[in-house]
Chain A
Amino acid sequence: AQTVTQSQPEMSVQEAETVTLSCTYDTSESDYYLFWYKQPPSRQMILVIRQEAYKQQNATENRFSVNFQKAAKSFSLKISDSQLGDAAMYFCSKKGSNYKLTFGKGTLLTVNP
């Protein structure tokens, strides 16, 4: 079974600091997409950022960026200038040729004022 692994169940960061959330995945495909989703206390799932496996350039969305290492099958999320509103559960996920999203178990991020 293809899996997505988030090795950090919980992380914390000081407001305005930078934090990196880790994710590794398993796949035998060459064409796939990777996503980070955010789930705040409201439990609404929000797409944060996505990365196409064929693109070497790391995706960036404002304060959110990824470090995509295809050979290592690693897809970490960096949050810069952390804000209180960034506190949430973050899920790493992968979508391949079967069009199904496979999720990791999540990392709970706490932002300290």
Chain B
Amino acid sequence: DGGITQSPKYLFRKEGQNVTLSCEQNLNHDAMYWYRQDPGQGLRLIYYSQIVNDFQKGDIAEGYSVSREKKESFPLTVTSAQKNPTAFYLCASSMGGVGYGYTFGSGTRLTVV
């Protein structure tokens, strides 16, 4: 079955360390997205990529980095420069075009200890 997989489900990180969240899709979707979810804040866009080898900053890109070397993969690195990294992170993918909704992964809960 086609879908989008995020791993791990739970992640713990020590302050000062970088950590990478995995996102893989086998839906043949062109576009992929990373969102951060905090209580009472809704979903906020971190980075997005419409095609391979190209990506754009979203609304809260500071302290994060991404790569898009393959169509299927869009990993997110949370760097030590991110001041408040503890959050729930959601990856999504979509066909190109305004009329398509997103398919979401099941999320990764990152906790800084």
Name A residues whose Cβ lies closer than 8 Å to a Cβ of B. Answer: 9, 31-33, 35, 42-45, 47, 50, 52, 91, 95-97, 99-106
Is B110 close to A, CB under 8 A?
no
CA distance A100 to B58 in the complex (A): 9
Known A45-B90, A104-B42; contact A96-B98, beta-carbon cutoff 8 A: yes
What distance in Å separates the Cβ of B90 from its nearest Cβ neighbour in chain A?
A: 7
**A105 in contact with B98 (CB, 8 Å):** no
What distance in Å separates the Cβ of A49 from its nearest Cβ neighbour in chain B?
A: 10
User: Which stretch in B12-20, B43-51, B60-68, B70-78 binds the other chain?
Assistant: B43-51
Give the bracket for the number of chain B residues in contact with chain A. 20 to 34
Our pick among A33, A43, A44, A104 for the contact of B98 (Cβ within 8 Å) is: A33
B contacts with A: majority SS: strand
B22-44 vs A, CB cutoff 8 Å, 1 = contact: the mask equals 00000000010101000011111
Instruction: Select from chain B the residue with minimum beta-carbon distance to A44.
Output: B106
Known A43-B88, A45-B90, A45-B104; contact A97-B41, beta-carbon cutoff 8 A: no
In the assembled complex, which residues on chain A have CB atoms less than 8 Å from the CB atom of B94?
99
**B99 in contact with A33 (CB, 8 Å):** yes
What distance in Å separates the Cβ of B45 from its nearest Cβ neighbour in chain A?
A: 6
**A97 in contact with B98 (CB, 8 Å):** yes
B70-92 vs A, CB cutoff 8 Å, 1 = contact: the mask equals 00000000000000000010101
